[in-house]
Structure 1
Amino acid sequence: MAEIGAAVEAGHAGDTATARARFDALWARVGERGDPLHRCTLAHHAADVQDDAHAELRWDERALAAADELTDDRARAHHASLQVAGFYPSLHLNLADVHRRLGADGPAREHLALARARTGALPDDGYGRMIRAAIERCGERLDRGDRSAAS
């Protein structure tokens, strides 16, 4: 998780090329059958630093697939507050948004509906409010036919 965090920091600092390279190297080590928490976290953050929406979609799909294998016990072993159900609104939001930008309105609407349906698992805090607001913004953009990247 520390190595994933270092790659995330590189991305946040604007060095997306380094972040992508680190995520790719980590994925090569972890692989499709590695720890679901590591795969979910890595893929979720790797999607954020992609230059290509199709590559972003592949990473977002990996994150969702890993979450489907993740248990609450494994998540809580990393941090006592974590519940897998709380991951899904953000994971589906990301998929809705990338499908929206790619012009795939059907899948975008499906993932948006799944994100909305799972918001009850979000905490009533800044993070929960941020995800809920982002879901609504994505829906508004989808309804307008806006294909631009989120700002």
Structure 2
Amino acid sequence: MTEQQEASEDALMTRIGQAVILLHAGDREEARNRLGAIWQEIGEQGDRLHRCTLAHYMADAQDDPADELAWDLRALTAADALTAADALTAADALGDGSGSGDDGSGFGRPALREPHPAMRVFYPSLHLSLAADYLKLQRPEAARVHLARARAAAGALADDGYGNGVRAAIARLERRLAAEPGPRPRPFPEQS
């Protein structure tokens, strides 16, 4: 990556950060407008980390719970795309360059499912947001599924302010959902 590309990426993250400051200061409409303009610039094919970050914050700027859910799903899709792209790159590095996961033995290698290290810390918050969205939309079963995924992914969080805050939010939502009727999801060991 050239210095010019790095500066451009830093400027984009700075602009996203400025919109988030507006959001946290209570100016949801201006934050939404700025994030929307940035989204138009980077588009659906832009940098996955930028798309994930922007969509995650854009969800928080929405007034309609269905719109919030749509943006949180975009954030998760971008995170998963980063994971899948890196898994293919890793498969190419390990194998014959085809990315097929086949090592030539006829049996193939197991699918690489580990999240990209930079994304691993986002998954608890992404799934927590989706759980909250589904609860707002009165879909407690879907909320429980994502809350279980948030809890399973929480091991990636550091013991710092951010990590402790996400874990506390997971616990609060777990208490709220405990009062809701409905089946409980099975744990997701692949995300622990």
* TM superposition score category, shorter chain reference: 0.7 to 0.9
Report the equivalent of 1:96. 131
Is the counterpart of residue 7 in structure 1 residue 42 in structure 2?
no
> After the TM superposition, which residues 1-151 of structure 1 pair with which residues of structure 2 at under 5 Å, given as runs?
1-70=13-82, 83-145=118-180
Amino acid at match of 1:16: R
**Higher relative CO (CA 8 A, sep ≥ 6), structure 1 or 2?**
1
Question: Could you tell me how far 1:128 is from its partner in structure 2?
Answer: 1.0
Amino acid at match of 2:23: G
Question: Could you tell me how far 1:119 is from its partner in structure 2?
Answer: 0.8
Question: For the pair shown, which has the larger CA radius of gyration, 1 or 2?
Answer: 2
Question: Could you tell me how far 1:144 is from its partner in structure 2?
Answer: 2.2
CA deviation map 1:8-42 (0-9, x unaligned) = 11111211110111111111111111100110110
Query: Using the alignment, how far apart are the partners of 2:162 and 2:24 within structure 1?
Result: 18
Aligned pair count?
136
Unaligned runs of 5+ in 2: 1-12, 87-116, 181-192
Runs of 4+, deviation exceeding 2 Å: none
